[in-house]
Structure 1
């Protein structure tokens, strides 16, 4: 039950106090080197002005040796000037710190090309802040300027900005992203760089809906820099589907559209 004395902050003007940086693409690259990673690399070369970060996820992050084909694909992707972060499940802080730290060490041993970590299944209400602070400090102590992307999948409490460079503040269906609005209860986002927010949008059936989601992310109200959109589906009521099993059918158009938005040019035709 809500405390009747609790004061809900008024919605802030939808004008961020920090100048936005160009839109970037964050790819859950949970697929095989060929064709997925190869396509990402060739697309990166064809879109030199679009920053792309790929989330590496061998065996759901639980691996014991190197996948040579994947290593070669990562090397090519990085030679194209793009970044790779390693997927680490935290299971809402139910996974032990020892397991999470061992997972991080495993990436640095077998895939030293990673430039950061994607902490999936992050608790959002601040109840596990100590857990995530410990993980973040462990990563930062490696001294490699490693990027930390946390994924609560929703807007979390502001305290989590102390443990993550970027937070996935939306993960869900395109139709739900249309009403995404941090101004309601999370005004803190407007005092941060827009790189603090990422969105992973699925069930966007066609190119027009993809472009609509990108345009939404670029709004001052939304204030989001990193984004990914796919037509692939996931049904939350049944748990059926895998939106990250391959690149979207409109992958090239997605990159073309991000480039156009960053250059303030008309969106390409779908």
Structure 2
């Protein structure tokens, strides 16, 4: 009897161990394929479209964006929608229709979530994630704004927990916005699929956007980074081409950001007049 048991174990373990190893190898192969696929993708636009979609069938900003996406179909569009500093407390049919139209044009639609630099309770953020699922189930990903970018494990763990919560609900991509230089430990932990490493009224300098510094993000691929530029009346294609070497997602608008000035406190409440120029350059 004992001999039979040992024979059975000898038969089982050689089968089980290689299967486990093959599972690990398969995961590595998949990750490598995903890396190569991402490495070959074009630079795209990360568009904060914080514009209410009234009369969506004739809305000039939405229709212009949709028309540009169809004309420049090879340029990826990630469009952030923001009903009420998040999904709000009820379904807005205008946003439902706007999301449908954006998806119909080939845009990836991302839902806005405020984190208030980790001051907002995690339970409230989880509620927003669940509302995005319930209210607007066609939304693809999430945009965690005001990310806490302190160079501490606790900050990384908090952001990683948000990403994992989004992933459990089926969201991808997960974009996080600290709006400034982000410590490399966030990238190493894969606390988001993409980080906004610059949000400001000027283009970032090349030496800064490279991220090649101790504790920086230079060892991580460009599709994990985004750049947002506001208050820029002149479109500078040279600056665009410098940035795209290091950040795969970009957007520039002339809309000003002037805190305390009425009508100038939100640079993302209009669609950039530079949209077509950006599309032309990125489609080359």
TM-score computed with the length of structure 2 as normaliser = 0.77
> Matches of 2:83 and 2:260 in 1, distance apart?
27
Shift of 1:241: 3.1
Shift of 1:150: 0.5
| 1:232 partnered with 2:252 | no
8 Å CA contact 1:38, 1:73 repeated in 2: no
8 Å CA contact 1:174, 1:213 repeated in 2: no
Question: CA separation of 1:39/1:177 partners in 2, compared to 1, >3 Å: closer, same or farther?
Answer: farther
| 1:134 partnered with 2:161 | yes
8 Å CA contact 2:45, 2:78 repeated in 1: yes
8 Å CA contact 2:203, 2:229 repeated in 1: no
More helix by share: 2
Of 202, 209, 234, the residue aligned with 2:230 is 202
1:121 is matched with which residue?
Answer: 146
1:3 is matched with which residue?
Answer: none
Identify which of structures 1 and 2 has the higher relative contact order when contacts are C-alpha pairs closer than 8 Å and 6+ apart. Answer: 1
> Matches of 2:117 and 2:103 in 1, distance apart?
30
1:263 is matched with which residue?
Answer: none
Q: SS of the counterpart of 1:234? A: coil
> Matches of 1:175 and 1:132 in 2, distance apart?
26
CA RMSD of aligned residues (A): 2.4
8 Å CA contact 2:212, 2:218 repeated in 1: no
Q: SS of the counterpart of 1:245? A: coil
> Matches of 1:179 and 1:154 in 2, distance apart?
14
Q: SS of the counterpart of 1:58? A: coil
Q: Deviations over 1:156-178 (max 9, x none)?
A: 11222221000000000125556
Alignment of 1:54-203 (within 5 A): 54-127=79-152, 128-142=155-169, 144=170, 146-161=172-187, 162-174=190-202, 176-177=204-205, 180-185=208-213, 188-203=216-231
Higher-Rg member (1/2) = 2
> Matches of 2:107 and 2:47 in 1, distance apart?
11
8 Å CA contact 2:142, 2:171 repeated in 1: no
> Matches of 2:214 and 2:39 in 1, distance apart?
18
| 1:26 partnered with 2:85 | no
Question: CA separation of 1:88/1:113 partners in 2, compared to 1, >3 Å: closer, same or farther?
Answer: same
Q: Deviations over 1:90-133 (max 9, x none)?
A: 00000000000000110111011111100000011233222212
> Matches of 2:45 and 2:193 in 1, distance apart?
15
